[in-house]
Amino acid sequence: MEYFKSIMIFIFAGLCEIGGGYLVWLWYKESKSVVYLIAGGLILALYGVVAALQSSSFGRVYATYGGFFIVMSLLWAWKMDGFQPDRYDIIGSLIALFGVAVIYYTPR
């Protein structure tokens, strides 16, 4: 159950960071309303709080989150922007997830 909880926290943190960053991106790159900037900034701040919900140390949490971020960023771009991940994107994502498993989920 602890693994599931930590994975859900990483996913929620990823949605906050990527979603917030995407709103800021839309404001800046596509001249969207300042509301996008404000909402994006608030969601990005929420990301910092959500990441702190993990039970491990800062360094281990953020290193592990990086692997989740890689995968989630590619999935977000695929669904939201029509980006087509290629086999190297997928291979790199799998390598990152393997790293996540070693860093965060290996018993110590």
pLDDT digits (tens, 9 = 90+) for 6-36: 999 999 999 999 999 999 999 999 999 999 9
| pLDDT per position as a tens digit, 70-84 | 999 999 999 998 999
pLDDT at 5 over 90: yes
- This prediction has a pTM of 0.88
Q: Which residues contact 66 (CB under 8 A, 6 or more apart)?
A: 96
Q: How many domains does the chain have?
A: 1
Range of the domain at 37: 1-105
Residue 86 structure tokens: 């290629």
pLDDT in tens, 37-93: 999 999 999 999 999 999 999 999 999 999 999 999 999 999 998 999 999 999 999
Short-list 94, 60, 63, 90, CA closest to 78: 90
- What is the predicted pLDDT for the residue at 108? 83
